[in-house]
Amino acid sequence: MNILVTGASKGIGKAIAEELQTLGNLYVTGRNENALIACNAKGFCVCDLSKDVNNLAKFIEEKEIDVLVNNAGEYLYKDVEAITVEEIQKIYQTNLISPTYLISKAVKYMKEKGWGRIINIGSISGVMGEANACLYSASKAGLLGLTKALALELAQYNITVNTINPGWVETDLGNASIEESEFSKEEILECIPQRRFVKPEEVAKLCKYLISDDAKAITGQGINICAGLSVGI
C-alpha cells in the first residue's frame, strides 16, 4: 500500500499521516520541508498546491500511489464584495482544482492494481454553508460533487471515493479561523451540540477505517464528523 497525505506538516494532515504510518509506504507533501522531514515518512515532496503541482503529480505516478488523502486546504473569512480574483483563484486551486488533478494522476495505477482508496478532507462548511466564507464553502462543496461522480466512475475498479467533513477541529487553522471571525470560541462552542471541538486524531481514525476492507462498501459518501454541528442546536 502506497499512501500519500497532502498538507501533512500540521493539524489534521499530520494526525492522518501518523495514524496511517503502519499501513504501508507513507509519503507526505506540504509547504514546510522541515515539518515533512519530522513526519518520518518513507518520502516527501515539497509542494504548494495553490501554485505548481506538476512535481507532485510526477511524484504520485513514480510512487504508484494507491491511497490518496487530499487534506491540504486554504481558508478565507471575508465579505463576498471584498474578495479579489487572486483570492478566488488561490482558494479554488488549493481546495478543488489541485485535488482533482492529483486524483487524475493516481487513478491510472489504482485501475491497473484493481484497488484504490481516495479520501478527500472537506468541511462541514461545504455541507451547510458558512457566511463570510463563501469561497471556502463553495470549494469544499465541490469536493462532494467530485466524490459522488468519481465513486460511480471508479466503482468497477474496486476504488472507493469518500469525503470526510470535519466541523470545528482543535488545530492551528481552527483557532486562526476563530480569530478571523466575529465570534469567540465560547460562542462557537455554544452552537456545537457536544460543546467541544473535534480532535485531529478522530478524523485520522475515520480516515484509517475508510481505507480498510471493512469499509469497502462505503463509497461516494460525505461523512460528517462535527460533534453534532450539522444536526442543529
Short-list 159, 76, 65, 152, CA closest to 105:
65
| C-beta of residue 223 within 8 angstroms of C-beta of residue 151 | no
Question: What DSSP string describes 46-85?
Answer: E--TTS--HHHHHHHHHHT-SEEEE---------GGG--H
Backbone torsions φ then ψ of 43, nearest 5 degrees: -170, 165
Q: Is 77 a catalytic residue?
A: no
Q: Which residues pair with 45 in a beta bridge?
A: 29
Angle subtended at Cα 65 by Cα 25 and Cα 159, rounded to the nearest 5 degrees: 115
C-alpha cell at 152: 460511480
Sheet order of strands, 116-121 included: 43-46, 25-30, 2-6, 67-70, 116-121, 159-166, 222-225
Gap between the Cα atoms of 62 and 12, Å rounded: 25
| C-beta of residue 220 within 8 angstroms of C-beta of residue 117 | no
Catalytic residue among 77, 101, 136, 209: 136
For the annotated catalytic residues, the residue numbers are 136
